[in-house]
Amino acid sequence: MRCWAGCLAGAMCLTVGCQTTVRQGARPGDQAPPPTAAEIDPTRVEARDDIFQIVPYWIEPIWLQRQDRIIGFKATVYFRSAQSNLGAFVSGDIFVWVYELVPAPGGRWERRLAHMWQFNQAQALGFRVRKRSIQGYFYGFLLTWPSTLALEGKRVEIEFGYERADKRVVLSEPRQFRVPVPIGYTPATQEARP
**Does residue 190 sit within a domain?**
no
Domains contained in the chain, number: 1
Model pTM score = 0.75
**Does residue 85 sit within a domain?**
yes
Domain that holds residue 70: 45-180
**Does residue 170 sit within a domain?**
yes
pLDDT of residue 107: 85
**One digit per residue, pLDDT tens: the chain, 194 residues?**
444 444 434 444 433 343 333 333 333 433 434 444 578 999 999 999 999 999 999 999 999 999 889 999 999 999 999 999 999 999 999 999 999 999 988 889 899 999 999 999 999 999 999 999 999 999 999 999 999 999 999 999 999 999 999 999 999 999 999 999 977 666 665 444 33
pLDDT of residue 189: 57
Q: How many residues does the chain have?
A: 194
Q: Say how far apart CA 161 and CA 184 lie, in whole Å.
A: 35
What is the CATH classification number for the domain harbouring 130?
Answer: 2.60.40
Our measurement of the distance from residue 13's CA atom to the centroid of its chain's CA atoms, rounded to an integer in Å, reads 48
Q: Give which of 33, 176, 157 is closest to 99, Cα–Cα.
A: 157
**Does residue 194 sit within a domain?**
no
**Does residue 115 sit within a domain?**
yes
Q: Give which of 73, 109, 88 is closest to 170, Cα–Cα.
A: 88
Question: Do residues 90 and 121 touch, judged by C-beta distance below 8 A?
Answer: yes
**Does residue 8 sit within a domain?**
no
Q: Say how far apart CA 45 and CA 90 lie, in whole Å.
A: 10
**Does residue 192 sit within a domain?**
no
**Does residue 92 sit within a domain?**
yes
